[in-house]
């Protein structure tokens, strides 16, 4: 007797950061002081009033049951209020939003809600790993479209073959962009909306970095474009915006048909968020936001430390105006994988190789600034000892 998993599971490679974590944990166990600059895992805490809301709710006797398939009304309203205040986007609380257990589960579950075997999902290259793995869970086909440096890491929709576009059911975008730090503007969003409307494609915009911005930049929502909700759904998360990554708080908003389909899948898979966690999210979205600017100022200091350190080594690093990431090309004579290995072995500093995110990431590295400032400075000092 031989037990084996489904073909869909067998076709999916191990999650890159899970594999990397195993390797780095082994190094730590062997005595290496590893500094992780590879993963976007916020090290700073949320504001005290957010934690206070969680604790107060936990102490009540009536908050430990199920939190509802569709979220408590106050959380749904907080999401709508946030989108109107932050982006000028008005949402129907009943039909145009769904709370998520972190946006990643929504990114994956949408594929089950929208794709049938043989359908095509259009996925950016480079791009966040879940965009490409989620369609495989639905037995769908992934077709990647190029993001390249010469086009500011933005897509050329005209390069997507017509026969592919006609079979496509989903298209993924993500601006501010992970891993490149590139920005999206109204022109890009309009082109994407027009393309998806032309071919009856659901436009999926992942927007978790919209509140991590620098130098006065203010990131938009694709839903602020008139007519966007006819074809678009947007994912957002409190993981990065409010330092709540481990609490798994996210949202999907936009096209009502897509929201209903996603909610249908979710009701079969999960039973919603815990009530105290929803109360924490309400406090995060509706409470004092001044601390976010202070947090971003700290991130900006780290960004500048990292950029200066990389440039001092002769590396072509540009300061991003958003996200937690600095995207830079490897020095001559290395691939992104060999450069990752070189600095990890020589210094104990881990920076993510760009090929994790797709073929167009080969030859690039993604450095995360979500590590304590003193450790980031130490990492930059260690890198100065490397010879290449």
Residues in the chain: 388
**Residue 41 and residue 66 in one domain:** no
> Do the domain assignments include residue 196?
yes
**Residue 137 and residue 272 in one domain:** yes
DSSP letter assigned to residue 336: H
Give the pLDDT score at 16. Answer: 80
Last residue of a domain, one of 230, 260, 286: 286
Q: What is the CATH number of the domain that holds 354?
A: 3.90.1150.10
Does residue 318 carry a pLDDT above 90?
Answer: yes
Distance CA 170, CA 271 (A): 26
Q: Which two tokens stand for residue 25?
A: 């944990």
Give the pLDDT score at 355. Answer: 96
Q: How far is CA 240 from the centre of its chain?
A: 9
Give the pLDDT score at 14. Answer: 79
| Structural domains of the chain, count | 2
**Residue 310 and residue 251 in one domain:** no
Give the pLDDT score at 18. Answer: 85
3-state SS, residue 92 = coil
Could you tell me where the beta strands, DSSP code E, fall in the chain? 35-36, 97-100, 120-125, 141-146, 168-173, 202-206, 232-237, 250-254, 325-329, 349-350, 352-353, 364-368
Does residue 1 carry a pLDDT above 80?
Answer: no
**Residue 135 and residue 250 in one domain:** yes
Q: What is the CATH number of the domain that holds 120?
A: 3.40.640.10
Domain extent, residue 328, equals 7-45+290-383
pLDDT band at 20 (very low <50, low <70, confident <90, very high): confident
Taking residues 305-310, what's their average pLDDT?
98
The string of pLDDT tens digits covering residues 113-152 is: 999 999 999 999 999 999 999 999 999 999 999 999 999 9
pLDDT band at 367 (very low <50, low <70, confident <90, very high): very high
**Residue 40 and residue 68 in one domain:** no
Taking residues 148-170, what's their average pLDDT?
97
> Do the domain assignments include residue 133?
yes
**Residue 297 and residue 264 in one domain:** no
DSSP letter assigned to residue 178: T
Q: What is the pTM of this model?
A: 0.95
Last residue of a domain, one of 286, 301, 316: 286
> Do the domain assignments include residue 388?
no
């Amino acid at each position: 007797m031989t037990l084996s998993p489904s073909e869909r599971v067998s076709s999916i490679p191990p999650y890159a950061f899970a594999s990397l974590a195993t390797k780095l944990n082994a190094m730590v166990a062997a005595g290496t002081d590893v500094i992780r600059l590879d993963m976007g895992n916020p090290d700073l805490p949320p504001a005290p009033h957010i934690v206070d809301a969680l604790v107060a709710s936990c102490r009540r006797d009536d908050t430990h049951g199920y939190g509802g398939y569709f979220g408590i009304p106050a959380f749904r309203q907080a999401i709508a209020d946030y989108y109107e205040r932050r982006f000028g986007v008005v949402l129907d609380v009943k039909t145009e939003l769904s709370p998520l257990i972190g946006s990643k589960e929504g990114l994956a579950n949408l594929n089950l809600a929208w794709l049938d075997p043989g359908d095509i999902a259009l996925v950016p290259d480079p791009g966040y790993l879940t965009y490409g793995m989620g369609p495989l869970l639905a037995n769908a086909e992934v077709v990647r479209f190029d993001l390249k440096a010469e086009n500011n890491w933005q897509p050329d929709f005209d390069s997507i073959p017509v026969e592919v576009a006609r079979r496509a059911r989903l298209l993924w975008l993500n601006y501010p962009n992970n891993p490149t730090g590139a920005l999206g503007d109204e022109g890009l969003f309009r082109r994407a909306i027009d393309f998806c409307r032309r071919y009856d494609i659901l436009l999926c915009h992942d927007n978790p970095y919209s509140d991590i911005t620098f130098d006065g930049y203010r990131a938009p929502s694709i839903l602020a474009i008139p007519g966007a909700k006819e074809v678009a759904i947007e994912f957002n998360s409190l993981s990065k915006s409010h330092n709540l990554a481990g609490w798994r708080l996210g949202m999907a908003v936009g096209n009502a048909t897509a929201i209903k389909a996603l909610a249908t899948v979710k009701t079969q898979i999960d039973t919603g968020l815990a009530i105290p966690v929803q109360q924490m999210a309400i406090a995060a979205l509706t409470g004092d936001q001044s601390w976010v600017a202070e947090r971003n100022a700290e991130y900006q200091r780290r960004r500048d430390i990292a950029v200066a350190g990389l440039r001092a080594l002769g590396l072509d690093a540009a300061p991003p105006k958003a996200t937690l990431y600095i995207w830079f090309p490897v020095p001559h004579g290395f691939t992104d994988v060999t450069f990752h290995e070189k600095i990890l072995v020589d210094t104990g500093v881990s920076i993510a190789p760009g090929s994790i995110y797709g073929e167009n990431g080969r030859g690039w590295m993604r450095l995360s600034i979500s590590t304590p400032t003193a450790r980031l400075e130490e990492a930059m000092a260690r890198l100065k000892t490397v010879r290449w």
